């Protein structure tokens, strides 16, 4: 099958905008909290170590890792499964995707 013969039903467009804008949009739509967006931004985008962030904030490493994993999964569901304009709002929205923790 040639690429031009494929339908776009399996191909989602990439989220538009700077990664910080994508995180902000997810916060506004209730997919992740501002705290989770900060956690993702610092550890995924700014490359701050998760152990370093946990130590600096006085949180446990496992707690930070769990929070980030849960937020990552909801964000992925928001961006990839239904698309950012169609995803239901809130943490419960990811429950039906199989991605919820």
Rounding to the nearest 10 degrees, give the CA dihedral for residues 87, 93, 96, 99.
Answer: 90
Of 78, 85, 84, nearest to 96 by C-alpha is 78
Q: What is the pLDDT of residues 27-77, one digit of tens each?
A: 999 999 999 999 999 999 999 999 999 999 999 999 999 999 999 999 999
Rounding to the nearest 10 degrees, give the CA dihedral for residues 42, 12, 73, 95.
Answer: 150
Range of the domain at 74: 17-97
The answer to whether residue 87 sits within a structural domain is yes
The answer to whether residue 34 sits within a structural domain is yes
Q: Which two tokens stand for residue 96?
A: 């039906």
The answer to whether residue 39 sits within a structural domain is yes
The answer to whether residue 66 sits within a structural domain is yes
Of 58, 53, 51, nearest to 42 by C-alpha is 53
Q: Which two tokens stand for residue 79?
A: 């961006």
pLDDT of residue 43: 96
Domain count, the chain: 1
Please, are residues 55 and 43 in contact by the beta-carbon 8 Å criterion?
Answer: no
pTM of the model: 0.67
């Amino acid at each position: 099958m040639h690429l031009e013969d494929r339908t776009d039903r399996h191909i989602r467009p990439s989220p538009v905008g700077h990664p910080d804008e994508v995180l902000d949009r997810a916060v506004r739509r209730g997919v992740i909290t501002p705290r989770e967006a900060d956690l993702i931004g610092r550890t995924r985008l700014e490359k701050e170590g998760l152990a370093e962030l946990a130590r600096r904030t006085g949180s446990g490493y496992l707690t930070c890792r769990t929070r980030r994993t849960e937020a990552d999964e909801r964000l992925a569901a928001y961006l990839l499964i239904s698309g950012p304009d169609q995803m239901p709002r809130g943490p419960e929205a990811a429950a039906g995707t199989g991605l919820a923790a």
